[in-house]
């Protein structure tokens, strides 16, 4: 995360007393879209649901929930799932988790004033995800970075004075994000990294060697797979840019793609578009070195950095 890391926007209350944040988060949009899809599957209008709920849900309240203008409470989500006849346990669990997680304060909230809302979105999605698939053209993925390497990358990509003044806390955040790989139920990480990223020159002595050692160490974990895309790889879909796919248990239609640039970040949420990125990632895996050969290549490059 680079120029997106800035001052966090604060929340306000709407007239109904429901939490209404400064902008819809990815979590709320995912939940709202799924609730809308379930309602459409029953061919219910907003007015139908208002009537069937005996006034528990007004048309205005339902509209706010489906368009992510208001955060949904777990009790409301459960009531709607019952009304829509949604009995799939995995689906119910996933949607209720979205609502409950939205009401909790994660560790990243202590960095208020440091993180932008879009970066908080990424951290909360990583926290909830069961797996992350990351393709990186120019840098080591953030979940695998050392402190000194992270410092150099954040410093080099800081494109505004506010970010330049927040290097230390942003490094802390980047390292804190990595707990998802070592917690009791860790995230499954599959990272494909362009070989050029491993050969980039760092300013600090020993920074890249230490980073490559960290990459090898993390790749030995059972929940982490690292593949290197060699310099002589043929043309591939990954040349269009780096991205990460965040998945949530068995509900693939809730997957989100995170695409970052210097000035902004894009969250791809439509199932058909997410599918394009998913297919591209699988193509990248076929042209990348196997995990075993990737470890050998990383070791070779590390030795060359001495």
Q: What is the pLDDT of residues 93-114, one digit of tens each?
A: 888 887 876 656 678 878 878 8
Would you say residue 6 lies in a domain?
A: no
pLDDT attached to residue 103 = 57
Q: What is the CATH number of the domain that holds 84?
A: 1.10.260.40
Question: Residues 141, 266: one domain?
Answer: yes
Question: Residues 148, 248: one domain?
Answer: yes
- Over residues 161-174, mean pLDDT: 89
Q: Check if the beta carbon of residue 238 is closer than 8 Å to that of residue 296.
A: no
**Structural domain boundaries, residue 65:** 12-103
pLDDT attached to residue 24 = 52
Question: Residues 224, 148: one domain?
Answer: yes
Q: Any idea how long the chain is?
A: 306
Its sign, for the CA torsion 234, 258, 192, 277, is: negative
Q: Check if the beta carbon of residue 104 is closer than 8 Å to that of residue 96.
A: no
Q: Half-sphere exposure (CA, 13 Å, Cβ side) for 304?
A: 10
Question: Residues 92, 139: one domain?
Answer: no
Q: Which of 228, 208, 229 lies closest to 219, judged by CA?
A: 228
- Rounded Cα gap, residues 25 and 65, in angstroms: 12
Helix (H) or strand (E) holding 57, with range, is none
Would you say residue 293 lies in a domain?
A: yes
Question: Residues 291, 201: one domain?
Answer: yes
Question: Residues 139, 282: one domain?
Answer: yes
- Over residues 163-169, mean pLDDT: 87
Question: Residues 185, 249: one domain?
Answer: yes
Question: Residues 188, 279: one domain?
Answer: yes
Helix (H, G, I), strand (E, B) or coil at 85: coil
- Rounded Cα gap, residues 15 and 267, in angstroms: 29
Tens digits of residue pLDDT in 211-233 = 999 999 999 999 999 999 999 99
- Residue in the block written with tokens 């390497």: 149
- Number of domains comprising the chain: 2
pLDDT attached to residue 275 = 95
Percentage of residues of the chain with pLDDT beyond 90 = 58
Burial class of residue 238 in the structure, from the number of CB atoms within 10 Å of its CB (0-12 exposed, 13-18 middle, 19+ buried):
buried
Whole-Å CA distances, 241 to 53, 77, 173, 266? 46, 36, 24, 12
- Rounded Cα gap, residues 197 and 44, in angstroms: 51
Question: Residues 80, 166: one domain?
Answer: no
Chain-centre distance for alpha carbon 188: 13
Q: Half-sphere exposure (CA, 13 Å, Cβ side) for 244?
A: 25
Question: Residues 204, 83: one domain?
Answer: no
Stated pTM of the model: 0.78
Q: Which of 21, 54, 82, 70 lies closest to 62, judged by CA?
A: 70
pLDDT attached to residue 18 = 30
Question: Residues 155, 84: one domain?
Answer: no
Q: What is the CATH number of the domain that holds 237?
A: 3.30.870
Q: How far apart are the first and last CA of the chain?
A: 29
- Over residues 58-70, mean pLDDT: 88
Burial class of residue 257 in the structure, from the number of CB atoms within 10 Å of its CB (0-12 exposed, 13-18 middle, 19+ buried):
buried
Question: Residues 166, 264: one domain?
Answer: yes
pLDDT attached to residue 250 = 62
């Amino acid at each position: 995360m680079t120029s997106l890391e800035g001052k966090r926007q604060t929340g306000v209350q709407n007239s109904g007393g429901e939490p209404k944040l400064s902008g819809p988060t990815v979590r709320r949009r995912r939940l709202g879209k799924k609730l809308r899809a379930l309602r459409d599957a029953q061919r219910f209008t907003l007015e139908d649901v208002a009537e069937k709920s005996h006034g528990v849900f007004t048309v205005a309240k339902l509209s706010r929930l489906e368009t992510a203008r208001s955060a949904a409470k777990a009790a409301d989500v459960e009531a709607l799932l019952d009304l829509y006849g949604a009995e799939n346990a995995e689906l119910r669990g996933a949607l209720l988790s979205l609502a409950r997680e939205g009401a909790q304060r994660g560790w990243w909230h202590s960095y208020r004033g440091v993180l932008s809302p879009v970066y908080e979105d990424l951290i909360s999605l990583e926290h909830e995800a069961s797996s992350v698939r990351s393709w990186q053209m120019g840098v080591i993925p953030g979940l695998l970075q050392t402190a000194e390497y992270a410092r150099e990358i954040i410093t080099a990509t800081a494109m505004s004075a506010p970010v330049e003044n927040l290097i230390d806390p942003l490094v802390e955040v980047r390292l804190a994000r990595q707990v998802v790989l070592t917690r009791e139920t860790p995230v499954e990480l599959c990272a494909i990294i362009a070989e050029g990223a491993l050969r980039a020159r760092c300013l600090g002595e020993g920074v890249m060697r230490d980073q490559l050692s960290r990459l090898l160490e993390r790749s030995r974990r059972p929940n982490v797979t690292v593949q290197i895309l060699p310099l002589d790889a043929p043309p591939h879909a990954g040349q269009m840019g780096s991205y990460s796919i965040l998945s949530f248990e068995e509900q693939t239609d809730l997957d989100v793609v995170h695409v970052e640039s210097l000035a902004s970040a894009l969250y791809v949420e439509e199932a058909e578009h997410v599918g394009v990125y998913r297919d591209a990632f699988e193509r990248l895996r076929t042209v990348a070195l196997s995990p075993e050969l990737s470890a050998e290549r990383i070791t070779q490059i590390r030795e060359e950095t001495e």
